[in-house]
Amino acid sequence: MTKFSLLGKITLASVIGQSIIVAVLESLVIFFHVKFVGNFILDEFGEGISQVDLIYHLIFIIAFVFQALICIDALRNKNPIQFIALLIFNLLTLLYAVIQLYQHKTLEDEGTESANFIESSRFENRTKVKIYFEARMRPLEYTIMTFISTFSVYLAFMTYKLYSEMEWDNYKKYSGDIKIRKAFVTLSILQTLIKMDIFFIGAYAIQLIPSHKMGHSFSIIETILIFVLSATLLLMSWVAVSREKKYILLRIYVLEVYNNNDTDIENSLSNTIRNSIKRHSKKLSLKRKQQRMKSNYREYKSKHQQLLQRKWQLNEKEKKELRWLTNRLRDHSRYLARIDLWKNNYENPNFEFLKEFPLWLKGLELAKFTSVFEGMKIRNVIEFDEEQLEKIGIYRNAARKVLIEAFEKIKQALNDPEHPSRIENIDEILDTVIENYENNEEN
Number of domains the chain contains: 2
Residue 412 is predicted with a pLDDT of 61
Residue 85 contacts residue 1 (beta carbons within 8 Å): no
254 lies in a domain? no
Helix, strand or coil for residue 40? strand
Which domain covers residue 359, as residue numbers?
293-442
Domain presence at residue 384 = yes
Give a yes or no: residue 346 inside a domain: yes
pLDDT at 318: 76
Residues 6+ apart with CB under 8 A from 130: 36, 108
Residue 201 domain-assigned (yes or no)? no
Closest listed residue to residue 312, CA positions, set 303, 302, 322? 322
Residues 96, 60 contacting (CB under 8 angstroms): yes
Residue ending a domain, among 107, 139, 174, is 174
Cα 32 from Cα 41, distance rounded (Å): 17
Q: How far apart are CA 89 and CA 78, in angstroms?
A: 18
Closest CA to 90 of 75, 104, 70: 70
For each of the chain's 443 residues, which pLDDT tens digit applies?
467 788 888 989 999 999 999 999 999 988 888 888 777 777 666 777 777 788 888 888 999 999 998 888 888 888 888 888 888 988 988 898 888 888 777 777 766 766 677 777 677 777 778 788 888 888 898 999 999 999 999 999 998 888 877 765 555 555 555 666 677 777 778 778 878 888 887 787 777 776 665 555 555 666 677 777 777 777 777 777 666 666 666 666 666 555 544 444 334 433 433 444 344 444 445 555 666 666 666 777 777 777 777 777 777 777 777 777 777 666 666 555 555 554 544 444 444 444 444 455 555 555 555 555 555 554 444 455 666 666 666 666 666 666 666 666 655 655 555 544 444 444 554 555 555 544 554 44
**Using CA atoms, how far apart are residues 404 and 70, in angstroms rounded to an integer?**
70
Answer positive or negative: Cα dihedral of 35, 209, 293, 290. Answer: positive
Are 158 and 7 within 8 A, CB to CB? yes
Judge if 161 and 27 occupy the same domain: yes
In a domain, 386, yes or no: yes
Structural domain contains residue 263: no
pLDDT value for 357: 46
Q: How far apart are CA 119 and CA 129, in angstroms?
A: 10
Same domain, 160 and 299: no
Residue by residue, DSSP assigns 162-174 as: HHHHHHHHHHHHH
13 & 161 share domain = yes
Last residue of a domain, one of 142, 174, 206: 174
User: Could you give the CA distance from residue 21 to residue 71 in angstroms, rounded to a whole number?
Assistant: 17
Kindly state whether residue 236 falls inside one of the protein's structural domains: no
Domain boundary, last residue among 174, 205, 221: 174
Q: DSSP characters for 93-159?
A: HHHHHHHHHHHHHHHHHHHHHSSEE---SS-SSHHHHHHHHHHHHHHHHHHHHHHHHHHHHHHHHHH
Output the pLDDT for position 356: 47
CA distances from residue 19 to 6, 27, 66, 364 in whole angstroms, order as listed? 20, 12, 9, 54
| 105-109 own/partner pairs: CB under 8 Å, 24+ apart | 107/49, 107/50, 107/52, 107/53, 108/33, 108/36, 108/53
Contact 155, 87 (CB under 8 A): yes
Question: Are 84 and 164 a contacting pair, CB within 8 Å?
Answer: no
Give how far the C-alpha of residue 76 lies from the chain's centroid of Cα atoms, to the nearest Å. 40
| Residue 159 included in any domain | yes
| pTM across the whole model | 0.54
Q: Which helix (H) or strand (E) holds 2?
A: none
| ∠ Cα 11 141 98 (to 5°) | 80
Distance CA 321, CA 163 (A): 67
Residues contacting residue 32 through CB under 8 Å, at least 6 positions apart: 133, 136, 137, 140
Written as one letter, the residue type at 291 is Q
Same domain, 303 and 165: no
CB 7 within 8 A of CB 67: no
